[in-house]
Structure 1
Amino acid sequence: MTKLSDTRKVRAYTNIALIKYWGKRDDKLILPTSSSLSLTLDAFYTETAVSFDESLEKDTFYLDDNLQDEAATLKVSRFLNLFREQADLKAPALIKSTNYVPTAAGLASSASGMAALAGAANLASGLNFTPQELSIFARQGSGSASRSVYGGFVEWQKGTSSADSYAVKIDNADWDIGMVVVVVNKNQKELSSREGMKQTVATSPFYAGWIESTAVDLVNIKKAIGQRDFEQVGEITESNGMKIHGTMLGANPPISYWEPDSVLAMQLVRKLRKQGIPCYFTMDAGPNVKVLCRLSDSKEIKTAFLNYFSEEQLIVSGPGSDLKEITF
């Protein structure tokens, strides 16, 4: 019998895509239509503990100390079934997760959440996957979770099948890289990423062009990272982010996650660049703006933003590390 004493706890950091993932070619396996690249951040993370225990009647899921309803637990149960089947386990699980990321607000909480769940289930089940194998499993919970297995700059390779669609580390990002996250709105967004993605792929006439151009962006940003050319990395990041939002605007009905303060933040970034501070913005499926910068410039950038945003809305982050086990 697997007992509660076998509880394993894992921390996974969230990641922000610089080359965006937007669209699936297989909804069940979460196989993307294009490869993507991200930066893992140390300021946002999820810690999840998992234990398999035959004395439990059913899977029990707590998020931030709150017992979750049947729908939320079912999503977790289905994901854990991947590990139970692989490990030939029948026992229900107790899952306790703490999210240090605003949920569903465009700050990639699903990435750290599912990566942490995958990591804890991997250890609790005794499977002890390699990082590559774990990335494949994490991907089936949330596409972006495949990247949160690693720290630094990470590429999720779209692959040709489930077996070769996984993330790989490109660079540790240990060369004065950081982000200032501008939390415009931390509330749950009205249109989920999953639904927004489906709508864009199905109806936007710009989507084919997006797929073609993002492949070029990926090649170029990897080259820039290899050369540690920060300005080139930033320019590609900003361009790619705006292209995906333009593609969303082409959907029917049009999709926009922006709020007035989102536009204000972007304008401030452009102003700072004109003043000689290299910084570049990107946005995911939510109103919050992420400012890619040199970590050494982050204090000055935050100070400039404090003229328009509160202290609580501005979070400075350095690069996050690989997924790791937390001891009790």
Structure 2
Amino acid sequence: MLKGSAKAHTNIALIKYWGKADEDLIIPMNNSLSLTLDAFYTETTVTFSEELTTDIFYLDDVLQDEAGTTKISRFLDLVRKKADCPLFAEVKSYNHVPTAAGLASSASGLAALAAACNQALQLNLSDKDLSRLARRGSGSACRSIFPGFVEWQKGTSDETSFAEPVPSSGWEDELAMIFILINDQEKDVSSRDGMRRTVETSAFYPGWLQTTPQDLASAKIAIHAQDFNKLGAITENNALKMHGTTLAAVPPFTYWSPDSLKAMNAVKKIRATGLACYFTMDAGPNVKVLCQKKDVAKIEAELANYFEKEQLITAFSGPGITYL
């Protein structure tokens, strides 16, 4: 019996990953940049055993059906091949994140599974190679291997597509992100399907690819200069641009709900009062508000005029992979 346990935190992209150049290897169309956060995480234990005749997957103590286990088994197949291990595995995962609601549950989930497998099978992978492995499970999982600011280099092959830390002199410790939970239900259009439809059909997608490298370069300059307003403005603009591509897809779709718009407008109104804050959104209706730690209490108080306190969760910069 071979056993490993690991914990990984979610990350939220400030410069988004949207669209795959290679669906099988999960190589993205553009580089992305994220912040790993402390509030949402996944803890996973994997046990490879001669007694098992198939892979078994429990999510929050609920045995998953065949469809729910398929993605996990596909990932385990990659690990088994790498380790030359024929054994089936039992995976027990605890998500301290609403699943498939645009809160990066797949990022923390697959990063934790990759690290647990690394421990169980004694693969001794470097952080870079662990990042490459996690990417094969879920693209954004490659960024959850590291703490703080992280860049995913898109690369052109399995070997060259990986994440790495972005030097920041610890500035991320001064930042925070307030999650406005609009809806924690599973979304109608998955990230995977949404990306594919956008890449294949959206008239706006070429503009996304053309402008995102400059967004990334500007964001890294802002991080180096510790210029919060510059980083916030780029983050907000990049998110709006990503969501704009979905409106021109065929058929068009959006992850926004009426309350998403309400949240975005609330952030703009709060910013107009002199409190520096900027929004971002992933493939789901929930809105994340990037702000400075020193302003959290004031911004939370303002947001409470628009949303219930239970809908607001504050996160700070989080750690990389932890072995349990």
Pair in the same fold by TM > 0.5: yes
Name 2:292's counterpart in structure 1.
294
Name 1:249's counterpart in structure 2.
247
Mapping for residues 210-225 of structure 1, pairs under 5 Å: 210-225=208-223
Counterparts of 2:284 and 2:112 in 1: how far apart (Å)? 22
CA contact under 8 A between 1:12 and 1:323: conserved in structure 2? Answer: yes
Secondary structure of the residue that 1:184 maps to in structure 2? Answer: coil
User: Normalized against structure 2, the TM-score is what?
Assistant: 0.98
1:21-67: CA deviations, max 9, x gaps? 00001000000000000111100000000111111121111000000
Report the CA distance between 1:83 and its aligned residue: 1.2
Counterparts of 2:106 and 2:224 in 1: how far apart (Å)? 28
Residue type at the aligned position of 2:305: N
Q: Is the aligned partner of 1:180 residue 2:156?
A: no
Name 2:85's counterpart in structure 1.
89
Identity %: 55
Secondary structure of the residue that 1:304 maps to in structure 2? Answer: helix
CA contact under 8 A between 1:17 and 1:38: conserved in structure 2? Answer: yes
Name 1:325's counterpart in structure 2.
323
User: Normalized against structure 1, the TM-score is what?
Assistant: 0.96
**What are the ranges of 5 or more consecutive residues in structure 2 without an aligned counterpart?**
none
Report the CA distance between 1:174 and its aligned residue: 3.5
Name 1:40's counterpart in structure 2.
36
Mapping for residues 161-172 of structure 1, pairs under 5 Å: 161-170=157-166, 171=168, 172=170
CA contact under 8 A between 1:178 and 1:318: conserved in structure 2? Answer: yes
CA contact under 8 A between 1:153 and 1:173: conserved in structure 2? Answer: no
CA contact under 8 A between 1:182 and 1:265: conserved in structure 2? Answer: yes
Report the CA distance between 1:261 and its aligned residue: 0.9
CA contact under 8 A between 2:257 and 2:285: conserved in structure 1? Answer: yes
Counterparts of 1:73 and 1:290 in 2: how far apart (Å)? 30
Report the CA distance between 1:116 and its aligned residue: 0.5
CA contact under 8 A between 1:13 and 1:323: conserved in structure 2? Answer: yes
Q: Is the aligned partner of 1:19 residue 2:20?
A: no
Report the CA distance between 1:95 and its aligned residue: 0.5
**What are the ranges of 5 or more consecutive residues in structure 1 without an aligned counterpart?**
none
Name 1:239's counterpart in structure 2.
237
Secondary structure of the residue that 1:163 maps to in structure 2? Answer: coil
CA contact under 8 A between 1:178 and 1:298: conserved in structure 2? Answer: yes
Name 1:200's counterpart in structure 2.
198
RMSD of the TM alignment (CA)?
0.9
Counterparts of 2:70 and 2:182 in 1: how far apart (Å)? 31
Q: Is the aligned partner of 1:138 residue 2:118?
A: no
Report the CA distance between 1:268 and its aligned residue: 1.0
Name 2:278's counterpart in structure 1.
280
Name 2:54's counterpart in structure 1.
58
Counterparts of 1:209 and 1:155 in 2: how far apart (Å)? 21
Counterparts of 1:322 and 1:208 in 2: how far apart (Å)? 33
For this pair of structures, how many residues does the alignment match?
Answer: 322
Q: Which runs of 4+ in 1 moved over 6 A?
A: none
Report the CA distance between 1:173 and its aligned residue: 4.3
Report the CA distance between 1:226 and its aligned residue: 0.8
